[in-house]
Amino acid sequence: LGNIVIVGAGHAGTQLAASLREEGFPGPVTLISREADAPYHKPPLSKSFMKDSGAPLQPLKGERFFHDHGIELRLGAEVTGIDRAARQVILSDGTRLPYGRLVLATGASARRLTIPGAGQGGVFHLRTAGDARAMRSALSGHGRVVVIGGGFIGLEAAAMLRARGHGVEVVELAPRLLGRAVSATTAMAVADDLARQGIVVRCRAGLDRLLGNGAVSGVRLEDGTELPADMVVVGIGAAPDDGLARQCGLACEGGIVTDGMLATADPFVFAIGDCAAFPQAQLNARTRVESVQNATDQARALARTLTGRPAAYDAVPWFWSDIGALKLQIAGLAPGSDEDIPVLSATGALRAVWRLAGGRLVAVETLNDPGIHMLARRLLAAGITPDRAAMAAGDKATLKS
């Protein structure tokens, strides 16, 4: 194989470096990150890191891990090109680094707003530690915040900012929150919870412009409504960082195209994590998934492949989001689902939604019910669809049998 060069030291790249050593890979491993921070957990950026101004980054590995495992970690180093014919990556300072195998784990970047006023001070995105630090240090007093986008990151940030005492409004273009991610039933329960916290949610709200004179002072909606704001947080999704792959002629369709082994059409180049568009076993279609589970499980599968035990990636997808005190967990993928079975607690609160397609269980959403979530992952992995009455009752003992 020769040496392995990994571009990107996020969840996918860092796990791959670690797993290569666990699988006994003896050769040189170089992990390159354009970020200055040692590899860290991204999910807390919109959760605990935002809630507490003194919260540190949570490192993915201990300080000595990379040294002790013979992994060369290059921080603050950007790969700007790939010379596939010479099998070399080119760094921003012009140096060339040869590779035996190259793994692109470049992740995704926050989508930017393009409406007038979007370039002003006080407008923040949340993708990196740098973004989160900038936003956290700009929080002062109990200023008003408008969050643009009712997806996971926007809602998590909204809940944290509200808990810090800010007035928070969420503006969403679609008819409901979390439109691409969860069932209408779950989205409704999340919306109710946000309302209880005093967060105002406006759906079907198109944007006209951001107001202000260099520093943002509000948001004007298409219908002319003006929402005053001292800060705007933009959470409108992420786009795959596939520029390097495109530049060197690798196929990209909504991400870097790979096969089931996470290989690109070039047998020496692989892609994993948020940047990879791979054939998803359950969907039977090419897709890109943004989750810690996807990034780390793809890294583990690729480490086995690169150490001579080829393993197609076919893990059951799962995801979590902490929206304030609400723990939302999702197992499986639901596109194509045509039936939802809700589970309510004795007090009428939503505990779970079982999602079926053609009578077959494809995904399960839970709210503050990790027990059902863990059970759902096992059922999905085994391809089991429990009977409807058992699902609706949400009784774990019956469901396990």
Q: CB 274 → ligand FAD: shortest distance, Å?
A: 4
> How many CB atoms are closer than 10 A to CB 328?
24
For the chain, count helices (H), then strands (E): 11, 26
Q: Which is nearer to ligand FAD, 110 or 201 (CB)?
A: 110
In the complex, what is the shortest distance from the CB of residue 130 to ligand FAD, in angstroms, rounded to a whole number?
9
Q: Which of 19, 30, 42, 373 binds ligand FAD (CB under 6 A)?
A: 42
For the record, the structure tokens of 323 come out as 């929206």
Q: Is 329 in the site for ligand FAD (CB under 6 A)?
A: no
CA 278, 280, 281, 285 dihedral sign is: negative
Q: What 8-state DSSP symbol labels residue 55?
A: P
Q: How do 29-32 and 4-7 pair as beta strands?
A: parallel
- Of 39-47, 169-177, 349-357, 373-381, the window that binds ligand FAD (rule: CB under 6 A) is 39-47
Q: In the complex, what is the shortest distance from the CB of residue 14 to ligand FAD, in angstroms, rounded to a whole number?
A: 7
CA end-to-end span of the chain = 47
Q: Which is nearer to ligand FAD, 9 or 187 (CB)?
A: 9
- Within residues 332-361, the interface with ligand FAD by CB under 6 A covers none
Nearest to 269 by CA among 123, 100, 121, 117: 100
- Spacing of C-alpha 153 from chain mean position: 9
Amino acid at 230: D
Q: Please tell me whether residue 32 binds ligand FAD under the rule CB under 6 A.
A: yes
Nearer to ligand FAD, 41 or 209 (CB): 41
Q: Which of 20, 65, 82, 107 binds ligand FAD (CB under 6 A)?
A: 107
Give the number of other Cβ atoms within 10 Å of residue 359's Cβ.
Answer: 9
- Footprint of ligand FAD on residues 269-288 (CB under 6 A)? 273-274
Task: Tell me: does residue 316 bind ligand FAD (CB under 6 A).
Answer: no
CA distances for 241 relative to 30, 256, 400, angstroms: 19, 9, 41
Dihedral over Cα of 173, 175, 179, 180: its sign: negative
Nearest-angstrom CA–CA distance, 174 and 231 = 22
Nearest to 154 by CA among 49, 236, 242: 236
Q: Is 11 in the site for ligand FAD (CB under 6 A)?
A: yes
User: How many of the other CB atoms lie within 10 Å of CB of 348?
Assistant: 6
- Residue 111 DSSP one-character state: P
Residues in the interface with ligand FAD (CB under 6 A) total: 36
Residue 166 in contact with ligand FAD, rule: CB under 6 A: no
By CB under 6 A, residue 17 contacts ligand FAD: no
Q: Is 46 in the site for ligand FAD (CB under 6 A)?
A: yes
Measured between alpha carbons, how far is 320 from 327 in angstroms, rounded to an integer? Answer: 7
By beta-carbon proximity to ligand FAD, the closer residue of 11 and 355 is 11
Residue 84 has φ and ψ, to the nearest 5°, of: -70, -30
C-alpha closest to that of 171 among 193, 194, 189: 194
Window 48-87: contact mask with ligand FAD (x via CB under 6 A): ------------------------------xx--------
Q: Which is nearer to ligand FAD, 122 or 235 (CB)?
A: 235
DSSP 121: B
Site for ligand FAD in 132-161 (CB under 6 A): 153
Stretch that binds ligand FAD, among 2-10, 134-142, 159-167, 221-229 (CB under 6 A): 2-10
Instruction: Give the span between the Cα atoms of 146 and 5, in whole angstroms.
Output: 41
| Closer residue to ligand FAD in complex, CB, 79/177 | 79
Smallest separation, CB 283 to ligand FAD (Å): 17
Q: Which is nearer to ligand FAD, 34 or 136 (CB)?
A: 34
- What is the smallest separation between the CB atom of 260 and ligand FAD, expressed in angstroms? 18
Among 8, 122, 151, 218, interactor with ligand FAD by CB under 6 A: 8
User: How many whole angstroms separate alpha carbon 393 and alpha carbon 342?
Assistant: 9
The binding site for ligand FAD (CB under 6 A) comprises 7-13, 32-35, 42-43, 45-46, 78-79, 105-108, 126-127, 153, 241, 244, 273-274, 290-293, 295, 319-321
